[in-house]
Amino acid sequence: MKKTDFLMTKIIATLGPASNSVEIITQLIQAGARVFRINFSHGKFSEYDQLIENIRESERATNEFVAILGDISGPKIRVGKIMEGGIFLKQGSEIIFSKKEVPNGEFFEKPLFSTTYPAFIDEVNPGERILLDDGNIELTCLRREGAGEEATLVCRVVEGNRLTSSKGINLPDTLLSLPSLTDKDFRCVEYAVKKSLDFLALSFVRSRKDILVLKDKLTELGARPHGLGITGHDFGFSTGYEDTPYIPIISKIEKPQAIQNLEEIIEESDGVMVARGDLGVEMDLAEVAILQKQIVHQCRKEGKPVIVATQMLQSMILQPTPTRAEVSDVANAILDGVDAIMLSGETAIGKFPVAAVKMMARIGVKTHGFIQKFGHVMPHFVKKEGVLSRKSAMSHGVADMGRDIDARYIITWIHSGGSTMMISQQRMEVPIIAFGERVSRLRQMALLYGVIPRYLIQPISGSRFIADLNIFLLQENLIEIGDPIVIVASDPITKRGLTNRIVIHYVGESME
C-alpha cells in the first residue's frame, strides 16, 4: 500500500475489447480503478466467465480488493436490420414502422422499418417524439394506420441523418408498458448471482416498482435477504444479514419518468448512477448538468452512494489526453461529493484505457487537494431512527473527532460493514482503512468514498487489534510515531452488529 493508493473518489472502469486481458486489468488497478463494470448489453456468458476470471487474477496479483458491477441491459428498443450502408433519412420526409419483420429496411413510397419491440406501434401517440441513434435522428409521430398485426406508425423526420441496423430508439414522451426486466435480463441476474458479482446496475428505471421486481428476483435466488426492504446510509449491512449473500442494486437514472419519481427511486435503491447518455437523449440536453446536481444532492442527503457516468473523458477513446472541459467535468463531480466516477467507452473500446484511468486519478488527487485546503464538500448528516440510529450518531461523532484531532486515518473493523459505510457518507478528507475477514464485504467496500479495504483475521481483542494496527501502519510507512488515528469497532471486537467503541489513539502509545 502506498499513499498514492488513497483515491477518495473511486474510479469505475468498463471492460471491453480494449481492456479484457489480465495484463491490462492489472494496469488499470495499479492506475487507480477499484470497480470493474461488465456491460451485459455486449458479449456472451462464456466471455463474461473469462472476464471475471481475469479480474480476480489481477486482484490477487495487485493485492487490492476490487468490485465487479454487472450492468443489466434493460428494455432497450432498437431498429431492426437495415441494408448495408444504411438509409439516409431526409428532413421533412415520412417513414413507416411496421410490426412485421422487415429484412433489410425497404423502400416503397416511404422507407419501412421493423423494431425489436413491435408493440411500441400501439403505444406511441400522434405528436410524440421518437429519437433514433442517441438522438442523432428525431422523428414526430403523425398517425397510426391499420390494426392488430397489420398496424403501422407513420412518422415525419424532424432532424435527418443516416440510419443503420440496430440503432437505439428512445421515446421520451411515451409511457411504455414494457417490463423493466426482459427474459435476457433475468438470465443475466441469475448469472450474476451464480458468479457472486458485487453489484447490479438496473437500467431504465422509471419508478420504485421496477426496483422491486429485481429485489424480488434476487431474494428468490438467495442473493438478497428475506425481510430486507429499503436501505439507507448503510447498504442494509447493519441489519443482521452479514452472513447472507447480498447484491446491492444501483439504479440508473436515465428516463424522464425517473426524474419525476426521483425521491422514491433513491429511497428504494441501494445506490444510484447518473447515466447521462440516455438521460441526455430523452431530456433537454441543456438540463443534464442541473439534473446531475439535483440527483447527487438528493443522494447525498439520503446517504445513498452515487456514481456519475458517461462521456467523462470521451475524447480519450481516440486521443491520449482529454479536453479541458472533460477535466472540469470530472473535477466538478468530485467536488459535488460523489462516491465514484465511471469510464465507459474510454476503457472498453478506447485506444488509451490505462491512460484514461491515470488521468482520472490525477484529476482526483488534485481536486481532493483543493477540498482538503478549502473544505468544499459539505457533509450531510441525516438523523436516523430505529436500528440505524446508533450508527448514524456514531458516524457523525467520528467525523467530528477526526477533524478535531486532525486524524491521519480512520480505522474500522468490519463485520457487516454498515458503520464503515455510514462514516464514508460523512465525506471526511481522511482515508478510512477498513479491516475485516469477509472478502465479499471488503470487495463491496471498494466502491465507497474514501474506504480502503484490507484483509485481517479476526483479532482476539480490541487491544490486540490496535497493536496490530501500529505494526501495519509503521511497516507500510503510512504514519509516524505520535500521529493520531481514530479507531472504530465493537466491544468486544468479536461482537457482531454493535459498533460501540471509538478510540482516539496516538501511534506508538501503550495500550496497557
Taking only the tens place, the pLDDT of each residue in 492-507 is 887 777 777 899 999 9
CB-facing half-sphere around the CA of 170: CA atoms within 13 A = 21
**Can you tell me the distance from the alpha carbon of 262 to that of 239, in angstroms, rounded to the nearest whole number?**
25
Which phi and psi angles does 202 have, rounded to 5°? -105, 120
447, 34 contact by CB (below 8 A):
yes
DSSP string for 433-502: EEEES-HHHHHHHTTSTTEEEEE-PPPSSHHHHHHHHHHHHHHTT---TT-EEEEEE-SSTT--S---EE
Q: How far apart are the first and last CA of the chain?
A: 29
- Residue 456: how many other CB atoms lie within 10 Å: 16
Rounded to two decimals, the pTM is 0.91
- Residue 406: how many other CB atoms lie within 10 Å: 9
- Positions of E strands within 49-93: 67-72, 77-78, 87-89
pLDDT digit string, tens, across residues 347-404: 999 999 999 999 999 999 999 999 988 876 655 656 666 667 777 788 889 999 999 9
**Can you tell me the distance from the alpha carbon of 380 to that of 303, in angstroms, rounded to the nearest whole number?**
8
* Long-range pairs, 125-128, Cβ under 8 A, ≥24: 125/174, 127/173, 128/171, 128/173, 128/174
pLDDT category, 211, cuts 50, 70, 90?
very high
- Positions of E strands within 103-175: 106-107, 111-113, 129-132, 137-145, 152-159, 161-163, 168-170
Cell 473523458 identifies what position? 313
Which residues are tagged catalytic? 37, 78, 252, 310
pLDDT at 4 over 50: no
Cell of 415: 463485520
Most confident of the ranges 164-168, 340-344, 395-399: 340-344
Element of type H or E holding 372: helix 353-374
Q: In what order do the strands lie in the sheet with 94-98?
A: 77-78, 168-170, 129-132, 137-145, 152-159, 94-98, 111-113, 106-107
**Can you tell me the distance from the alpha carbon of 444 to that of 109, in angstroms, rounded to the nearest whole number?**
56
Distance of CA 200 to the CA centre of its chain: 8
Tell me the average pLDDT across 105-125.
84
Distance of CA 3 to the CA centre of its chain: 25
Q: How many helices (H) and strands (E) does the chain have?
A: 16, 23
- Positions of E strands within 73-218: 77-78, 87-89, 94-98, 106-107, 111-113, 129-132, 137-145, 152-159, 161-163, 168-170, 199-202
Q: What is the mean pLDDT of the chain?
A: 90
DSSP string for 299-352: HHHHT--EEEESSTTGGGGTSSS--HHHHHHHHHHHHTT-SEEEESHHHHT-S-
**Bridge partners, 436 (sequence order):** 455
Tell me the average pLDDT across 149-165.
93
pLDDT at 243 over 80: no
pLDDT at 235 over 80: no
Dihedral (CA of 40, 44, 49, 51) sign? negative
Dihedral (CA of 489, 492, 494, 495) sign? negative
pLDDT digit string, tens, across residues 262-317: 999 999 999 999 999 889 888 888 999 999 999 999 999 888 999 999 999 999 99
pLDDT digit string, tens, across residues 287-302: 999 999 999 999 998 8
pLDDT digit string, tens, across residues 458-497: 888 888 898 888 888 898 888 899 999 999 988 888 777 7
Higher-confidence residue of 82 and 499: namely 82
**Can you tell me the distance from the alpha carbon of 424 to that of 394, in angstroms, rounded to the nearest whole number?**
12
